[in-house]
Amino acid sequence: MILINSNKLINISSILFLLLPISIVLSKFFADLTVVILAISFFFFNKSFNLNNDKKFYNNIFFVLFFSLIAFSVISSLFSSNILISLKSSFLHYRFIFFSLSIGYLFTVNPEKNLKFFFYILLGMYIVFLIDGSYQFIFKKNILGYVTNPTTRVSSLFFDELVLGSYLSRLFPILFFLYFFLKIKINTYLIIYFLTHLYFVTFITGERLSFLMINIYYFLFPIYLIKTKLKRTAFVFSFISFFLIILSSSQSFNQRSSIKNITDQFTTFNYTICEETKVRVKSSEYLKNKFKQIPNCAPLITIFGVKVYNIYSVMHYNHYISAFEIFKDNILIGIGPKNYRYECNKEKYFFNEFSCSTHPHNYLLQILTETGLCGGIIFILIYISFLYLYFKEIVHLDNKNSLLKLVLLSSILVNFFPFFPSGNFFNNWNSILYTLPLGFLLGFYRFIKWK
């Protein structure tokens, strides 16, 4: 009876796993329900299939560090000003740890069949997005007639949510990994067309970070595959030249992602924001003695005569100022997850209209602000641990297993890069996208040992 139930559980879990590329597009509720069911399933897998015999699967430094990070976020929540709201975000985040472990187990359940299904379902979603994204770019509406606001952005089936580029760029390493792991045979010209079309659609979404990420992957993955130093060097120079040409000629395709717009984000002095910040700082007892120079009114740095006023953009820069000031006042355990939106509205952190948001738009700053130095140190240790694994594998590039590990490790390192702007670390949708590669990596390690 236990065996029958276990087999049914595996079948249900496998179906939910295979539908993930679709569910995270069409239904947030179903996507999160999938995470919950798979997280719970792990405990049944552990009991029914005796995963305790393979303790390294979850008894390792990464599991311990991730578990500790969530533990500190729970502690921060308990000391926060909005305990229940914060606890809902922090404590329930444990499900993503067990979700990734469950994915790691399912990876080894009939991988030839299940992973091939996953690959073709994910590839199918990409093809839909490439067609619909291009259609929307040309006709200013998607195939269902939906018009984005502004019309210059491309969202496809995500409608109001401008995350198409994030989906395409963050799941690309998994698609790439499965293509080589499963030894899929596709015509070379079709692959070149697909990669070119994907590059174009990611660019026209207007999501600058997503476009940067896809460029990083397009740069790194061929280097892993190219065998000789001469060819690698030639590829590096060719790709950099291509990237610069694309940026310099991008104004006519998408102004938001053009090199002029990106440069302006860093270097344009915003007189209105400077004056607003100046008035608030000078009129506030909390703020007037806080800064040597009023933010937004003086350049941060001058490089070759070019004055840089912002980090990424005036919006990001002011989020970061508020987050850092909140962190300084709550340095040990932070303010608790999901509380940035409340704290940044307080007078001593609110400098101007861009000071406040739901989150600071940077993973490291969010962790420092909401879980304090304790959580921040653990986050950095997690990143360093993955970085160590990356460099450990990079010396074995000729080994196919090392190459596949590097693809997934690259995804994790790029997703968590401490100096990139980001979404909300505790957001369900974002969490699925950054824990899925981790689940695949765990599964691949287990597959190698099992094989």
- Segments in the chain below pLDDT 70: 1-6, 46-59, 249-258, 450-451
DSSP letter, residue 268: -
CA distances from residue 21 to 18, 58, 117, 286 in whole angstroms, order as listed: 7, 25, 11, 48
Predicted local confidence at residue 3, as pLDDT: 46
Predicted local confidence at residue 47, as pLDDT: 64
Q: What is the mean pLDDT of the chain?
A: 89
**Cα of 399 vs its chain's centroid, Å:** 27
Predicted local confidence at residue 1, as pLDDT: 39
CA distances from residue 88 to 28, 84, 380, 427 in whole angstroms, order as listed: 17, 6, 24, 11
Whether the Cβ atoms of residue 152 and residue 256 lie closer than 8 Å to each other: yes
Predicted local confidence at residue 253, as pLDDT: 63
Q: Which helix (H) or strand (E) holds 301?
A: strand 301-303
Question: pLDDT per residue over 207-234, tens digit each?
Answer: 989 999 999 999 999 999 888 888 888 9
Whether the Cβ atoms of residue 401 and residue 451 lie closer than 8 Å to each other: no
Question: pLDDT per residue over 239-293, tens digit each?
Answer: 888 888 877 766 656 666 667 778 888 999 999 999 999 999 888 888 877 888 8
**Where in the chain are the domains?**
2-259+363-450
**Exposed, middle or buried: residue 188 (CB in 10 Å: 0-12, 13-18, 19+)?**
exposed
- CA 201 to CA 7: how far, in whole Å? 41
CA distances from residue 248 to 252, 261, 262, 408 in whole angstroms, order as listed: 10, 11, 11, 31
Q: Using only C-alpha atoms, what is the Rg of the chain?
A: 23
Task: Tell me the residue length of the chain.
Answer: 451
- Report the 10 Å Cβ neighbour count for 265: 19
Phi-psi region of 226 (alpha: psi -120 to 50; beta: other; left: phi over 0): beta
Whether the Cβ atoms of residue 446 and residue 105 lie closer than 8 Å to each other: yes
- CA 424 to CA 364: how far, in whole Å? 11
Predicted local confidence at residue 259, as pLDDT: 75
- CA 425 to CA 397: how far, in whole Å? 32
Predicted local confidence at residue 55, as pLDDT: 59
Q: One-letter amino acid identity for 216?
A: I
- CA 425 to CA 217: how far, in whole Å? 22
CA distances from residue 107 to 31, 104, 193, 443 in whole angstroms, order as listed: 18, 5, 29, 5
Predicted local confidence at residue 59, as pLDDT: 66
Residues 6+ away with beta carbon under 8 Å from 413: 383, 386, 387, 390
